[in-house]
Structure 1
Amino acid sequence: MSENMAGTALAPVDDETYTRLAAGTALPIEQALVWADFDEVVPGREHWGRLAFQAGGEVVAVLSLTQVDGPAGVRYLWAKNGPVWLTEPTPELERALRERLVAALRRAAPRVAFVRLHAHHAADDLRDVLQGITYDRTVVVDLAREEEDIFAAMKQQGRRAIRKALKDDSLAVAEETGLDEAAFAELYDVLVETGAREGFGPHPARRYLDMLRTLGAEHARVFVVRREGRVLAWALVVVNDGEALYSVGASNAEARGAYAADLLHWHIIRTLAAEGVTRYDLAGAGSERFPGLNGLTQFKTKFEKNVTEVAPAWDLPVAPARYEALERGLAAKRAARRLARELPGAARRLVGRLRGRGGAADTGAPAAAPSDGGPAAQD
């Protein structure tokens, strides 16, 4: 037993005990009981269990784990936005929980290759996530204020954008929670457009519909901005224990000039604040460690000038040899993709160099241009 593990214990708990232990602490939606209903309808996923971590005779953290069966038979557990700490998570406490978890899983779940969880403190037993997006900074709007105070605390450019959108009589913003499959199809088209513009592929529409259905209107809310009936921007916001998280959003090209996204989030802020929700997390901002999110920061900080430090996700290897094999396989796959992208340009540069050295004259024939389907044509 390591020094960190002394005086600690990790044990499974039932739903009633989990709820009692977490009382008084706002659970992220992914760590709440209702998330298991969503897990059960997603192919390759299921709820694995809930655990309580004790230190010094007191429960200091709880976590809920989802089992994910990935490609090639890889199995891992995902404690999204967990563990939920009931006390200040020191590096020693975080390490002890992880050591207890790994030891327990090696006995009870030998097929699990790793656990993905959140940690405030970097450590040598943690790895950067193999795939997916995580962040260590976010933007949180404090809704426990008067509406005029929330608005006054925004950046000037945010207030200006909202005022312009409010003056546009062609725009209508409303909550459309409970929409059916046919209505969601229109929203999904905008999400596909956003993905093509920003370089990501959305899940199939069924995933979002299942999320809305299983979480229900209490926890999964949809807000939409329209112009003359057309969808310009929309957002799916999840709510639990008086706190809200911006989960999914999309906007089309028309939305930009209309400040539709600004109007959308202002409407969400007003609606949630009026209902007594105390925090609205805009889910991620750029940082030194995650500069790829810097483009989001400028928009999100319109609504709150300050950024909030949060615990990013990490991978915790349970079976180190298998995890290292996954790392090597993924690195090879990414290298192959880079090569496929770079080959067209490399072929074009090679042709240029041959021409520059007189390569065509050396053969006694003109240099051949690439065919319409050749590498240079695809560059």
Structure 2
Amino acid sequence: MTSSLTALRLEPIAGDAFETMVHDAGHTVPVEQAPVWDAFDAAIAGRSPWGRLAAYDAHDRPVAVVALSEYPGRGFSYLWAKHGPIWLETPTADAERALRVALRAYIAKQAPRIAFVRLHMHHDAADVRPLLQSVTYDETVEVDLTPAEDEIMLAMGKTGRKKLRRTLRDEGFALSEESDISREGFEELYGIYRETAERDGFGIYPADVYFSMLTTLGDAARLFVARRVDAAGTDAAGTDGKGAPGRAVSWVLSTFYDGVGQDYYGGSNLEGFETNAALRLKWHILISLKAEGGTRYDMMGVGSAKAPQLMGVRQFKLQFADQTTPVDPAWDVPVKPLTYRILTWALAAKRLVQGRR
């Protein structure tokens, strides 16, 4: 069924009712839209959970739900519905437009400080704008975890399958979940992330942001690490000082919620790159989450015409599937059009100045 609504009414909704509504429609709840995400938002300076809303049609029938988080900008604030809204039925362009109209009016009344709201939408439209200072994507790589393990491997790309089988024979790996790692122990992994960022040319947050995600999300955040070991099971240093053998060469901070796992952050150092540690670790994650009842794993975005910045990871992620999966990209929806226009001009001027340096 599709929705062709032209007017919607918004009402606040509690987290448990939010999830029940989504499940009753046969969908899963993205972790960023779930109540568990609120603790992470609250732990980051300047960020906070803003609220959850349900959208109803003229017959009081719920058609969509959305969870919004407030983010700080320089002199402004905005709301972001990461992986939202969640439509209970497939929306038409008119239905998406009706939700934007309702949200703009609701937010302008309830929080006049908000400059814009960021939403994921299927249909392009004249009243939406490309994101300010952020990257979105419209393709990802998903792995179906429901088949048998050998069938999951057979569904991989030929090159990826060959490389995986080779690395599975490498006895120099110790792979484990280290979600209970200490803040001190996490510094080793953050050093790998800095190396990855410098090599691949992207910016990163302070270490406390990633560690807060791990500690505030509870079981919904999982940290997996690949370490290199010698024949005796340790490297020259013995262990990392926390009981995990070997030296870390690759790691992934994943989320796992409502049966769906997804990549979030991670990196590999030079040794990890040379030993295909990321490939081996990703396989370990897939099989571990499958064993826990996981149904799907999302690699979280690959490069496309809309997201050329992610072309560097496209080839790696396509080792796990023979094609990409389309997803709804994010767009900015101005709540205060003049303010948003000024922000756009200011950002363009800043980039022009930086380009001349």
Which of 186-195 and 252-261 deviates more?
A: 252-261
- Give the aligned partner of residue 65 of structure 1: 68
- Give the aligned partner of residue 10 of structure 2: 10
User: Once the 2 structures are TM-superposed, how far is the Cα of residue 56 of structure 1 from its aligned partner?
Assistant: 4.8
- The alignment yields a C-alpha RMSD, in angstroms, of 1.3
Distance 1:5 1:170 in 2: 58
Bigger radius of gyration: 1
Distance 1:12 1:62 in 2: 10
Structure possessing the higher relative contact order (Cα contacts under 8 Å, 6 or more residues apart): 2
Moved over 4 A (4+): 4-7
Which of 306-315 and 14-23 deviates more?
A: 14-23
Partner of residue 305 from structure 1, selected from 302, 309, 322: 322
- Contact (CA 8 Å) 2:7, 2:99: kept in 1 or not? no
State percent identity of aligned pairs. 45
Distance 1:55 1:92 in 2: 13
- Give the aligned partner of residue 81 of structure 1: 83
Q: Which amino acid aligns with 2:153?
A: F
Partner of residue 155 from structure 2, selected from 153, 156, 162: 153
> 1:158-207: CA deviations, max 9, x gaps?
11111221222212211111111111110000000001111112111111
- Give the aligned partner of residue 313 of structure 2: 296
- Give the aligned partner of residue 113 of structure 1: 115
Q: Which amino acid aligns with 2:95?
A: L
- Give the aligned partner of residue 220 of structure 1: 221
Structure 2: tracts of 5 or more residues without a match: 230-245
Q: Secondary structure at the match of 2:91?
A: coil
Q: TM-score, normalised by structure 2?
A: 0.91
Q: TM-score, normalised by structure 1?
A: 0.86
- Give the aligned partner of residue 196 of structure 1: 198
> 1:253-290: CA deviations, max 9, x gaps?
11122111110111011111111100100000121222
Distance 1:61 1:240 in 2: 20
Which of 55-64 and 204-213 deviates more?
A: 55-64
Q: Per the alignment, do residues 318 and 5 of structure 1 end up closer, same or farther by CA in structure 2, a change over 3 Å counting?
A: farther
Which of 10-19 and 200-209 deviates more?
A: 10-19
User: Once the 2 structures are TM-superposed, how far is the Cα of residue 6 of structure 1 from its aligned partner?
Assistant: 4.3
- Give the aligned partner of residue 176 of structure 1: 178
Which of 315-324 and 99-108 deviates more?
A: 99-108
Distance 2:150 2:67 in 1: 38
- Contact (CA 8 Å) 1:12, 1:50: kept in 2 or not? yes
Distance 1:269 1:164 in 2: 17
Q: Per the alignment, do residues 329 and 145 of structure 1 end up closer, same or farther by CA in structure 2, a change over 3 Å counting?
A: same
- Give the aligned partner of residue 232 of structure 2: none
Aligned length: 335
Distance 2:309 2:7 in 1: 41
- Give the aligned partner of residue 131 of structure 2: 129
User: Once the 2 structures are TM-superposed, how far is the Cα of residue 31 of structure 1 from its aligned partner?
Assistant: 0.1
Partner of residue 236 from structure 1, selected from 249, 253, 260: 253
